Amino acid sequence: MLCRILGLILALLALGGCESSKSLMGNGSKKGPGRADIPPGGEVRDELDGLVLRENGGVRFRRDLPFPARLEVRMSQSLDYQNVKVVEVSDLGKIVKTLNHKVETEIWCGKGPGVFEFRLEKGSRRVAAAEEKDSSVIDVELNRAKELEGQSLNFALSEGGWRTRHGAGAVDFKRAVWSDSMEDSVPQLMVETGAHPRVQWFSASRMWRQGDGIMLTGNTLKILDPYDVSGRMALKFEGEEAVGGHPCGVFSLSGDMRVMGQIQADGSQHDVDISISSGKIWASLLYPVLLREEYETVQTMTQREGKRGGPETRLQGGVRVLKCRNWVPADE
């Protein structure tokens, strides 16, 4: 308990005055990239098409291009819960209910040398299914994310890792708790959003043609998820397709994996077993980033508030997942 209190005090001191701080990416970041949910298809932009390595009816993933030092990403996530059983466990007892709705989240990120800014633009908005009459069911669960909507966290790289940037001014206790829960997961958060390259990626020496396959196991699963992950996932190369004019290799996939300590935009953490019956990813052919993910899944999830325990929520059932990233180097 003492360690937790000390950690929270440090977070409060570091977080003070973040509202008045300037954007890490300059004036342009306040506008940022356009909508994140860009549908795939269309033409590859001319200046990027010339960078794609194509030969003999196949394509290679590049590993030699320097990752942009400054970039902005707008990422949206939609989770469509389909007859998901939810069990809430706390000191007050156990509550069981069933969910049929979508939860939509949108974040903006800006990254420069040694600095990272994270802004929660849409805090887990609930979109009810037509048959769901009780609109209050999910309101309590999403209340924390709604309170953080429109707020930013600024981090700087130090000898001790990524830490909240110091500032001056009034301290917001809720944002201090939020920052404290996010701080240790900044490296994975940057990878998930596309602000930092994936630590595992497709080999630059392999030529991919339609129908080629690969089995991801162990550490290679970090191509799909940056957290502590295990399992087996079969990928099949479907061809090349653009997302927002950016050239991508498209893979269909299926399999099972377990993800531990997955951080959410509001600072809560999930441990989740995921069975993907069908899905697709759009992987950049130029940089180690995923621009789009679509999955039909059955998930068993344990959600915790904060990184040091707290009330738990367990969910089990079908979840349709869509993640989209509008990924823009800052000098474009």
Tens of pLDDT, residue by residue, the chain (332 residues) = 434 444 444 444 444 333 333 444 444 444 568 888 899 999 999 999 999 999 999 999 999 999 999 999 999 999 999 889 988 776 667 788 888 888 899 999 999 999 999 999 987 777 765 555 554 444 444 556 677 888 999 999 999 899 998 655 566 778 888 899 999 999 999 999 999 999 999 999 999 999 999 999 999 999 999 999 999 999 999 999 999 999 999 999 999 999 999 998 888 888 999 999 999 999 999 999 999 999 999 999 998 765 555 567 889 999 999 999 999 998 65
Q: At what angle do helices 139-148 and 173-182 cross, to 10 degrees?
A: 100
Q: Which amino acid is at 88?
A: E
* Cα–Cα distance, 160 to 288 (Å, whole number): 26
| Contact status, residue 303 vs residue 270, Cβ threshold 8 Å | yes
Helices marked H in the chain — which ranges? 2-15, 46-49, 139-148, 173-182, 186-193
Max Cα-Cα span within the chain: 64
pLDDT at residue 251 in the model: 98
Question: From the CA atom positions of the chain, what is the Rg in Å?
Answer: 20
Indicate the pTM of the whole model: 0.85
Quote the pLDDT of residue 146.
Answer: 73
